[in-house]
Amino acid sequence: MSDNLRKGQVIGVNGNMVSVEFLTNVMQNEVAYIVQGSDRLKSEVIRIRGKRAELQVFEDTNDIKIGDCVEFSGELLSVELGPGLLGQVFDGLQNPLPRLAQDHGFFLKRGVYLSALEDDQQWEFTPTVKKGDKVRSGSKLGFVPEKIFEHSIMVPFHLSGELEVVEIVAKGKYKIKDVVAKVKSLDGKTHDVCMKTIWPVKMPINAYSKKLKPIKPLVSKIRIIDTLVPVAVGGTFCTPGPFGAGKTVLQHLLSRHAEVDVVVIAACGERAGEVVEVLKTFPELKDPRTQKTLMDRTIIICNTSSMPVAARESSVYTAVTIAEYYRQMGLNVFLLADSTSRWAQAMREMSGRLEEIPGEEAFPAYLETRIASFYERAGIVQLRDGKTGSVTIGGAVSPAGGNFEEPVTQATLKVVGAFHGLSRDRANARKYPAIDPLQSWSKYESFIEFEKVEKGIRILKRSDQIDQMMKVVGEEGTTLDDFVEYLKGDFFDSVYLQQNAFDEVDEATIADRQKYIFDIIVEIIDKKFDFKGKEDARKFFLDLRQKFINWNTKKFNSSEFKSLEKNVLDQIQVTKVEQNA
């Protein structure tokens, strides 16, 4: 029922910010609709002063007039959660884009909002509790099959304290709005539970017993990440880089290969062309773990750069809320946001319109807090049934001018557990992924022993020093020993840290193979070679490199793999003189 008093009228328009005079109470961040004939433009309250509220509109503000009626919904910006999310493509406000295209054609029609989930679809519900059972928010009441998972139907997250199941339906087919259970809270109130639930996007879902420390490595199958700058399950990382350094390709690879259950891709303000590539190729790609299409475990939140800026701001929240929802089922969810800079820029745009006092580079003073609270929604948690679930967040950052000193990169670095800095130099030299191994860092542990990893880092640093020196004194002025150190670092970089994203074997390396190969790399780093001269040494490493790169393209433990491995090992043995202490 719309209450007459919960209305207001437009008194100002500036870009996509609308000022409204309201008559009674209004809630910060509540959703309001600007009524324009038959159109209702969705917006969110972002500031209240006296009887005046500022709204950011998630749509084009064309033709809004002073005096236009505004209806306040009394609800915070929320998403629908329930079976049917997997495989979907939504915009930042959770509008299903393919269904919009069906209904409205090529263009995104203003003021059209579809519900995220299909109301009429039937789901086979199997209860797992019985009448009288004691439950709490987030407890599993039953499940329905969704794609490759058992999708848990849970006690709504907003209910608190101990609850008692007073009714539970029998196994059978139900729609998402059907009541499948009733639970009674301690105050004697009974609450209906359906398969669909609503949650405000800007609030974390916290129906779990405790948050744990992320320690288990997340296998991304990108060697440089897993070995040198790893990510933990439930951890956070950021990938800053100038344009052209390969952020998006890297994110696509991660979304395809990382060993997780569900992937949520949030495209906030990125190129439509790239989003389309994911959209059209994922359904055709097979998930190596399930042999089903990759889309079956993927959800895409897509707000391209030309879609309204306010919706871009909400897209990361929509994405992380959906990620938390699947985490509550005990799944490991991977959220990739590309790019959080665009999200921050959206905040900057709105802040400028609100005429707030600007902070560094005109970003609002609350930039750091917002970034921090977004990344803090990652984590591995112990659920009430003892299982664990996780949300891992990786954000791509697009720093202005490729300069990592800028506020968004800096604010992000403070709160993430790993930093994968992409470098223009490496990208120009066609070294992929272009993560700079000397600038990047991680606070998490790799699945490869620390002592070995250290050896890798040490040789890279040494090699880099010698390379710098050679630029001054030339190759002639460098000792043979130093030159060999340089070659070792270069070799490690080119055969291990770089991966060929266009080779179906080399593009993703499983953990066992990484461990296996890294042992050989370490052996080479440790080995003292006896070369006649620099030419000799260079030839040796070029040869070895060629063999290694071929070896990288063979399936692990296949017969070809074995024979090329023998090749590699033979070459190392031949010149073996003595082992370092």
When the beta carbons of 165 and 294 are compared against another protein, the nearer one is 294
**E strands, 169-279, in order:** 172-174, 179-185, 190-194, 197-200, 210-212, 236-240, 262-270
Residue of the chain from 1, 106, 130, 579 that contacts another protein (CB under 8 A): 106
Binding footprint of another protein, residue count (CB under 8 A): 67
Q: How many CB atoms lie within 10 A of CB 60?
A: 14
Residue of the chain from 401, 473, 577, 580 that contacts another protein (CB under 8 A): 401
Quote the CA–CA distance of 152 and 10 in Å, as a whole number.
43
Token digits for 252?
């696509």
Q: Rounded to the nearest whole angstrom, what is the least distance from the CB of residue 11 to another protein in the complex?
A: 6
Q: How many CB atoms lie within 10 A of CB 234?
A: 27
Task: List the one residue out of 200, 211, 202 whose CA is nearest residue 157.
Answer: 200
Which residues in 276-305 contact another protein (CB under 8 A)?
Answer: 276-277, 279-281, 302, 304-305
Residue of the chain from 5, 24, 28, 65 that contacts another protein (CB under 8 A): 65
Task: List the one residue out of 44, 54, 62, 71 whose CA is nearest residue 12.
Answer: 54
Asked if 64 is part of the footprint of another protein (rule: CB under 8 A), the reply reads yes
Quote the CA–CA distance of 331 and 511 in Å, as a whole number.
20
Asked if 275 is part of the footprint of another protein (rule: CB under 8 A), the reply reads yes
Residue of the chain from 3, 75, 124, 361 that contacts another protein (CB under 8 A): 361
Asked if 100 is part of the footprint of another protein (rule: CB under 8 A), the reply reads yes
Asked if 367 is part of the footprint of another protein (rule: CB under 8 A), the reply reads no
When the beta carbons of 107 and 450 are compared against another protein, the nearer one is 107
Residue of the chain from 244, 288, 477, 533 that contacts another protein (CB under 8 A): 244
Asked if 307 is part of the footprint of another protein (rule: CB under 8 A), the reply reads yes
Asked if 145 is part of the footprint of another protein (rule: CB under 8 A), the reply reads no
Q: Rounded to the nearest whole angstrom, what is the least distance from the CB of residue 4 to another protein in the complex?
A: 23
When the beta carbons of 89 and 383 are compared against another protein, the nearer one is 89
Asked if 179 is part of the footprint of another protein (rule: CB under 8 A), the reply reads no
Q: How far apart are the first and last CA of the chain?
A: 80
Quote the CA–CA distance of 37 and 580 in Å, as a whole number.
81
Token digits for 294?
């990759």
Binding window for another protein (CB under 8 A); candidates: 141-149, 242-250, 457-465, 514-522:
242-250
What string of DSSP letters covers 114-127? Answer: --SS-TT--EEEEE
When the beta carbons of 64 and 159 are compared against another protein, the nearer one is 64
Residues 6+ positions from 272 with CB-CB distance below 8 Å? 304, 305, 306
Residues 6+ positions from 71 with CB-CB distance below 8 Å? 2, 6, 7, 32, 33, 35, 40
Residue of the chain from 60, 164, 259, 445 that contacts another protein (CB under 8 A): 60
Binding window for another protein (CB under 8 A); candidates: 167-175, 195-203, 382-390, 399-407:
399-407
When the beta carbons of 272 and 520 are compared against another protein, the nearer one is 272
Asked if 533 is part of the footprint of another protein (rule: CB under 8 A), the reply reads no
Asked if 50 is part of the footprint of another protein (rule: CB under 8 A), the reply reads no
Token digits for 22?
């309201």
Which amino acid does the sequence have at 557? N
Q: Is the torsion defined by CA of 476, 481, 483, 484 positive or negative?
A: positive
Task: List the one residue out of 242, 229, 266 whose CA is nearest residue 420.
Answer: 229
Binding window for another protein (CB under 8 A); candidates: 22-30, 100-108, 316-324, 503-511:
100-108
Quote the CA–CA distance of 343 and 339 in Å, as a whole number.
7
Q: What is the dihedral of CA 77, 81, 86, 87, to 10 degrees?
A: -40
Residue of the chain from 7, 47, 110, 538 that contacts another protein (CB under 8 A): 110
Asked if 238 is part of the footprint of another protein (rule: CB under 8 A), the reply reads no
**E strands, 231-341, in order:** 236-240, 262-270, 298-304, 332-338
Which residues in 487-526 contact another protein (CB under 8 A)?
Answer: none
Q: Do 102 and 330 contact (CB within 8 A), yes or no? A: no
Q: Rounded to the nearest whole angstrom, what is the least distance from the CB of residue 313 to another protein in the complex?
A: 11
Token digits for 357?
């006092």
When the beta carbons of 450 and 502 are compared against another protein, the nearer one is 502
Asked if 19 is part of the footprint of another protein (rule: CB under 8 A), the reply reads yes
433 Cα distance to chain centroid = 18
Asked if 215 is part of the footprint of another protein (rule: CB under 8 A), the reply reads no
User: Tokens 């060929």 — which residue?
Assistant: 500
Token digits for 64?
């809004």
Asked if 111 is part of the footprint of another protein (rule: CB under 8 A), the reply reads no
Q: Rounded to the nearest whole angstrom, what is the least distance from the CB of residue 91 to another protein in the complex?
A: 9
Residue of the chain from 28, 373, 403, 439 that contacts another protein (CB under 8 A): 403
Residues 6+ positions from 331 with CB-CB distance below 8 Å? 149, 261, 262, 389
Residue of the chain from 13, 319, 466, 537 that contacts another protein (CB under 8 A): 13
Q: Do 20 and 11 contact (CB within 8 A), yes or no? A: yes
Binding window for another protein (CB under 8 A); candidates: 41-49, 59-67, 143-151, 284-292:
59-67
Binding mask 314-333 for another protein (x = CB under 8 A): --------------------
Residue of the chain from 158, 175, 271, 462 that contacts another protein (CB under 8 A): 271
User: Where do contacts with another protein occur on this chain (CB under 8 A)?
Assistant: 10-15, 19, 60-67, 89, 97-98, 100-101, 104-110, 242-244, 269, 271-273, 275-277, 279-281, 302, 304-307, 309, 339, 342, 345, 348-349, 351-353, 355-356, 358, 361-363, 398, 400-403, 428, 474
